[in-house]
A and B are shown apart, each in its own frame.
Chain A
Amino acid sequence: GDSVTQMEGPVTLSEEACLTINCTYTATGYPSLFWYVQYPGEGLQLLLKATKADDKGSNKGFEATYRKETTSFHLEKGSVQVSDSAVYFCALRNSGGYQKVTFGTGTKLQVIP
């Protein structure tokens, strides 16, 4: 079945540091890939997405590129802010008949001033 593996947290960074959160996936077919963010006490919000190989999703300074050859979708940001502190989930949605979303375990990011 489909699965998503992302790096363990928590990740603690100083403000303006570079961020990379690794995500790899296993899926049949051609899934769409997503990063969701969950701020403290809130639900999940879509951060960015990519629907085919070599697509780059971007939003709020975050980027991720759909790499089919390495089955990866790593999240990157060049300069994090305290307001980026949240839990980040990598996810995929397969193009097959049962279109549920499969989530990774989540990575907690804490940015300190």
Chain B
Amino acid sequence: SAVISQKPSRDICQRGTSLTIQCQVDSQVTMMFWYRQQPGQSLTLIATANQGSEATYESGFVIDKFPISRPNLTFSTLTVSNMSPEDSSIYLCSTITDGRNTEAFFGQGTRLTVV
């Protein structure tokens, strides 16, 4: 299994500013994922972050808006840049442990409100 510590748990930010969300995993993992969950919606994958390579972004998400770092096998950050009220969401990081058929593990989420 894997335990993910995510912070901050919530924040209220001014439009035009940026927020960096951090996730720390208690074990080394190959893949980490960042999701967005808009109010009342399901999870939408933003990008996949592998250590030592550029993050892979899903359709509709770009690096300039959501830069990601993955400096080692236990840590990743997601930055939400130049925020607008439409960025108000819950952001979740996730990982899967190596091996087939294992489930995904999630951080507690960051509830972001942009005013």
Whether B101 pairs with A105 at a CB distance below 8 angstroms is no
**Complex: how many Å from CA A104 to CA B45?**
12
Contacts of A101 in B (CB 8 A): 33, 94, 96, 104
Contact A32/B101 with A99-B31, A101-B94, A103-B42 known, Cβ cut-off 8 Å: yes
- The DSSP consensus for interface residues of chain B is strand
User: Residues of B at under 8 Å CB distance from A?
Assistant: 6, 31, 33, 41-43, 45, 48, 92, 94, 96, 100-109, 111
User: Is A69 in contact with chain B by the CB < 8 A criterion?
Assistant: no
Going nearest first, the 5 A-B pairs with the smallest beta carbon separation are A51-B101, A43-B108, A44-B106, A32-B101, A105-B42
A43 in complex: contacting residue of B41, B45, B100, B109, CB < 8 Å: B109
Contact A100/B48 with A43-B108, A93-B103, A95-B101 known, Cβ cut-off 8 Å: yes
**Between A and B, how many residue pairs show CB distances below 8 Å?**
49
8 A Cβ contacts from A83-106 to B: 89, 91, 93, 95, 99-101, 103-106
Whether A100 pairs with B45 at a CB distance below 8 angstroms is yes
A95 in complex: contacting residue of B42, B100, B104, B107, CB < 8 Å: B100
Contacts of B42 in A (CB 8 A): 89, 103-106
A-B contact list, 10 entries, CB within 8 Å: A41-B111, A43-B106, A43-B109, A46-B104, A49-B103, A89-B43, A93-B96, A99-B96, A100-B45, A104-B42
Q: How many residues of A contact B (CB 8 A)?
A: 21
Look across to chain B and name the residue whose beta carbon is closest to the beta carbon of A4: B42
User: Is A34 in contact with chain B by the CB < 8 A criterion?
Assistant: yes
**Complex: how many Å from CA A95 to CA B102?**
10
Contacts of A93 in B (CB 8 A): 96, 101, 103-104
**Complex: how many Å from CA A99 to CA B43?**
16
Whether A42 pairs with B43 at a CB distance below 8 angstroms is no
Give the interface centre of A43, A91, A93, A99 by most chain B CB atoms within 10 Å. Answer: A43
